[in-house]
Each structure stands twice: as structure tokens, then as C-alpha cells.
Structure 1
């Protein structure tokens, strides 16, 4: 199939048959959910130990769709996109990729639009969807790989790709990607793809207002949700690291630690007192470069959980180097464990129940967005997507 686009507020895609009638890329991916671990047992689950599968990507750009956030990187992505696309095409020609002029491009104009654009592209037969932007743009595109409110994928064969050009770039740090656009292009044109895990959160679990969201990097609750709200509404003129650090200081000054109840892998419930932040990690970094989960691996089939409890603002300031290096995991007020499923509740109540005041809620963020508050259920979807890299 070929792709043709028309875009107004959202883009629509029509399908036109080509002479060979073939899709340019194919790979297999499981559609079913991973089995739920047996109840009980306090030991950490084992990581997936099978060798990483590397799939060859056909060297054709037919069926490639670039979903571009022109507002990312302070608007520089939109300004530079024509030159960026030309650079990509020239590199593809140099590497003898075919159908270079058949790539489709669509620009987003509002938040969450990338999710709908991705679903539209996949339903029309897109082979590779490339998220061009920051962590938020990538997360929206990942969400679009799944049917709304479901773990079922829109396409069993389509692949994900990413050109990281946003402010934070925390996901790319887990992959040890640089900030150079030329390096991202080189990575895309290597012609290989590898399976990666995706996290899922049900925010407001058990309530009428429950929200189902997937995440590619990190979900968290507590002060981090407030910090994400502050970061999303404040200027990024000083760069990502300083921007998120200042937002963190402001958030810690305002947030009151809460006691949380957690249940991992359907085992026993446990109460953790004075929680500042509980992070459920697929990737290693959040908050503009803080290595919250040094042991996290996006392909090990596990969620790596880090809990900061009893932290004061002074603790945070003194531990700043350790938080960015990952050495904070050895601190007495840091706790880490791995699991496949995690249920989190506020020890003071049901969270989003009727009559609760906003000040009592424990907010949740997923990949920097804040869809709601506890209660929340998290799980990992092992090898859910193929990442071109």
C-alpha cells in the first residue's frame, strides 16, 4: 500500500494500492497480554534472559510516517524541519535506501494529537512511525500504537522510531543516544529493529473516572506529578537540566509526603510511610537527567520501582550529584525493587473517590503528563513494540 495524506485539524489517510501490493516492513509481535504472575512470594521476579532479537528492516522508506511536533525544542523543530527532512533523505540515498520520496509527514498542532495521527497512519498501513520531538511526543506516538483503552495493537507489524529533539530527552539517555540529529539519522538508517517493553497504567483504578495510558519511559506518583505540572507550565529558557531541577525544588517545597499502600505481583499489601515519590520505571532517567532507576532496562520484561521516602529538601540538595549519577540507590531513604505488576493506593483513602479534596489526592504522571491521581495499577508489557535503532 502507498500512503497519501490530507491534514486539517487532524490528518486523515487514504490507502492506494501499489503494483506489488506489499508492505515494506514485516515483523512478528505478540498481541496477548503477558501472563499474570502467581500470587504471593516476596522475591524479585527474574528478568527476561532470552537473547535480544534484532530484526532487519527492509531498506525502503515506503510506508514511513514522520509525526513531527513543531513546538518541541522551543519551536526550533518546526523551523528546522524542512532542512532536517532533506538531511534524512540525503543520508538515505547515500546508503542506497529506496523510495526516499515516499515518506509521509504530518505536523501536530495541539497536545495529544500525535496519538490520533499515529493510529490513523497505522490503520492505513504505515510500516514505521517516527516520533520527531521530545519525550512527550514519543509517549503520544507510543500511545497511538494501541487501540484506545486496550492493550491490543493497531498493527501487529508496524515499528516505532524516534528522532529526539525535545527539551528533556530522558528516554534517549537510557539508550545512550546523543543529541546530534545526524546521529539519530544514522541510527534510523542502520536497518535494524529490536523489541522493547512498554508500561501501562490504569489511573483511578476501580473508579468511574479510570484512565488507561501506556508509557515508554517512566510513570510515577507523589511529588513528581506536582513537579511535572510545574515543569510543563514554566519557561525552559535555561535548558532542561536547570528547568527540571528548579521545578523539583518548587515541587518539594509544596508537596507533603504521604503514606502509600503497594502490592507487587499480586502478593501481600505493604504500607510505606512518608513517600515523596514512587517511580515505576521502564527507562532509567526522568526529570531532565535524574537517574532514578540505574538498573532499569527497556527490554528485560520488568518494571523497576524506586521509592524516595522521608526526603527533605535539604536531603535532595545534598544528594543532587547522587540523584543524577544513580548512586542515590545506596541511600537509607531510597528503596528499589523490581516487579511485573504494581498496585498503588493512598493509605488515607481511595484517591479519586467522590468527595475527596484536590489537596488530598496523590497525583500520577506518565512520561511527564498528569492524567489523574491514585489509585493506580501498573504493569509491564514485555517486547510490546519493535524499535528501529
Structure 2
């Protein structure tokens, strides 16, 4: 399980921002009507799936040429311990799925099977972890034995898994889906539900709508460091490790729809 969005798109989205602010067109020396367009040609093209777009470059160019645009939300993630400050447009994920994505990148020559290979590699050393989570600046709460989490601005990752099934990049919020106490064989038995988006109905899966969410590992003794680093990635790019804070920037950039 992991996100699959072409890394160049993640980099283009980040190119709209500098030092935490939206770059003004005059500073870039470009026209004031700059917008983000998408030609879905990636391994999974998961962001395009949210709009039911196919991997058809001619169709995409025709769509972009029409110039119809809409303000689209952008996710923001900060990893304070790693000095990471990044933006994402599709899905960010934490722990097992992010670890699987990290390893899947090493198996790209296998095509879409790289997702399976990455997941198996990730499972080999995986342990469910206890997280402390704070939503919308509320109280910190303990969530035990978290297997994986997804923070979605859109719906799909991992080559078609509908991981955050009601996420909408025009909704002004993020959908967070958390899987707890899962075993490796649970994913085999529930895989079909992940692709349909019906996994949110099974036991040990929770769904929340948030504007901000902060996540850190839970320690009985905060002086003791974890033996396992918790992977984080966004839009298919490995970013680093917990702790992290995610937030939404409503209608941040123009998107050619």
C-alpha cells in the first residue's frame, strides 16, 4: 500500500509556494493566470482517478486547452524534527503504507507489481505502533496499535485503492482514515474492500474530517527513543519520519479541470 503520484507533480505543486507562502506571479516572471494542469501518465495516476480521468495524453491536452479552472485545496505537512515543510495535492500516508511506498520505489522496474513487492518488504519489519494524535488544536488522544494512516485531499493511492473514499480536493478539509490492530493477512482478506472504499465499514477502521491533525509516537517514558522510525510520504514522495502536522490550505491554487 502506498501513494502513487508522479514525483514531478508533487514538485510542481511545491513550486507554487516559497517560505510558507504562495509565490506571486510577478516574482516568478510569469503570467498572473498560472494554473496547475495534469496529464496522467504515472504508474498509478491516482489523483486523476478522483476525477475519473484516464491515462490518455490527448484527452488531457484537450481538457487543459479548454482552460476551465477551479480553486483546488492543497495539503501541507511539517516534520519539525526533520526540518521538512512540504505541500501535497493527493494523499499523504503514515507508517506501513508509507514504508511500503518507500520500498516500492526500489521495485519500479516491476511495473504495478512494485506495490505488492513494496508492501511485502514493508511487512517484514512492521509492528503496529501507539500514536498520540491531536485534531484541530484539541486535546491529545492516545490511539493504540496503529497499522497505517492516510490523510487524503483526494480519494486514491497505491494504484487504485480508494483509501480516503469521501475525500474531495474542493471540500476545504482533509479526510483521515486510520487502520488499527491489522495483521498482514487482514490486508489479503480485505484488499477488495480497499479498492472499493468499503474498508471504512469494517472493525478497527476509523474516519475523521479535519482541518489540522498532529501525530507523534506515544511513549510511556518520553526520554526513551523509539526503535522504529515511523515513515511518512506524500504524493508518492518519502518525506521523513514522525512527528508531523498536517493541515489544509483551502482553494490554494488554480487547477485546470
Candidates 275, 294, 306, aligned match of 2:177: 306
- Output the TM-score relative to the length of structure 1: 0.60
Candidates 43, 60, 69, aligned match of 1:167: 43
Whole-Å Cα distance in 2 between the matches of residues 194 and 267 of structure 1?
32
Residue 197 in structure 1 maps to residue 68 in structure 2: no
C-alpha RMSD of the superposition? 2.1
The equivalent of 1:385 in structure 2 is 253
Whole-Å Cα distance in 2 between the matches of residues 134 and 191 of structure 1?
23
Candidates 99, 114, 137, aligned match of 1:226: 99
The equivalent of 2:28 in structure 1 is none
SS at match of 1:319: helix
Candidates 261, 271, 277, aligned match of 2:148: 277
SS at match of 1:160: coil
Q: Name stretches of at least 5 consecutive residues in structure 2 with no aligned partner.
A: 26-31
**How far apart are 1:213 and its partner, in Å?**
0.4
Corresponding residue pairs, total: 248
The equivalent of 1:366 in structure 2 is 234
Whole-Å Cα distance in 1 between the matches of residues 240 and 5 of structure 2?
22
Whole-Å Cα distance in 2 between the matches of residues 331 and 388 of structure 1?
36
**How far apart are 1:264 and its partner, in Å?**
0.6
The equivalent of 1:31 in structure 2 is none
TM alignment of 1:36-115, pairs within 5 A: none
Q: Name stretches of at least 5 consecutive residues in structure 1 with no aligned partner.
A: 1-132
Whole-Å Cα distance in 1 between the matches of residues 133 and 225 of structure 2?
20
**How far apart are 1:229 and its partner, in Å?**
1.1
- Output the TM-score relative to the length of structure 2: 0.90
Moved over 2 A (4+): 151-157, 348-351
The equivalent of 1:136 in structure 2 is 7
**How far apart are 1:186 and its partner, in Å?**
1.8
Q: 1:234 to 1:154 in 2, by over 3 A?
A: farther
- Please list the CA deviations of residues 53-99 of structure 1 after superposition, one character each: whole Å capped at 9, or x if unmatched: xxxxxxxxxxxxxxxxxxxxxxxxxxxxxxxxxxxxxxxxxxxxxxx
The equivalent of 2:22 in structure 1 is 152
SS at match of 2:62: helix
SS at match of 1:336: strand
Look at both structures and tell me which one has the larger radius of gyration over its CA atoms: 1
Residue 181 in structure 1 maps to residue 49 in structure 2: no
